[in-house]
Structure formats: C-alpha cells, structure tokens
Amino acid sequence: MADLLTSQDIKDWIKKHPEWESEKKHVERTFEFDDFTQAIEFVNGVAEIAEEEDHHPEIEIRYSKVRLLLSTHSEGGLTDLDFELAEKIDTLVDE
C-alpha cells in the first residue's frame, strides 16, 4: 500500500510540474491536440502505461482535449503512485 502524501509533498511536486493542478484529493491536467484522432492516440498511450503500472486515471475526452485526474482511491488521496504515473504520462507529449 502507498502512503498518502503531505500537502507540502504535493506543493513541492506541483512546483516541478506546473502543467498539473492540485485539487483536494487528486491532481489533474488537460492536454490539447490538433484533432480527435491525436487525442485518442494519446489516450491509448495513457492506457498502456496505466495497465503496466496497474494504476488507472480518470479520463475525460472532449474532441481534441483530454483531461486526466489522478488519485489513489484506495488510500483516499494522493500517493507517490499518482506522481509516478503523471511523470510517465508526460513523456507521451514531451517526446
């Protein structure tokens, strides 16, 4: 089981990853693409990573925008698992 992160841990991580926003019990980021096909290709990449990590984000798709919410629901908040997943997801768009 992963331990919940402190509010300071979360603030420190957000400073290093300003594309992500911290909410009460999750972090989120909206990714924008040129079209629906690119958005779906990104979601498929996220799905592969999520399956490998056995840690799954909430995904909202609106044409060319994809919003991801990460939280460790079993722990009731944010853990290292969420930040590790976020960093791996970021590599899909930073390549």
pLDDT tens for residues 9-63?
999 999 999 999 999 899 999 999 999 999 999 999 999 999 999 999 999 999 9
Q: How far is CA 93 from CA 19, 46, 57, in A?
A: 12, 11, 16
What whole-number distance in Å separates Cα of residue 59 and Cα of residue 66?
Answer: 7
Q: Is the confidence at residue 95, as pLDDT, over 70?
A: no
Spell out the SS3 assignment of 19-53: CCEECCCCEEEEEECCCHHHHHHHHHHHHHHHHHH
**Superfamily for 7-94?**
Transcriptional coactivator/pterin dehydratase (3.30.1360.20)
Cβ atoms 39, 63 nearer than 8 A: yes
Sequence spans of domains, the chain: 7-94
43 phi/psi in degrees, rounded to 5: -60, -40
Residue 80 · residue 52 · CB < 8 Å: no
Q: Please give the pLDDT value at position 79.
A: 96
pLDDT in tens, 3-18: 999 999 999 999 999 9
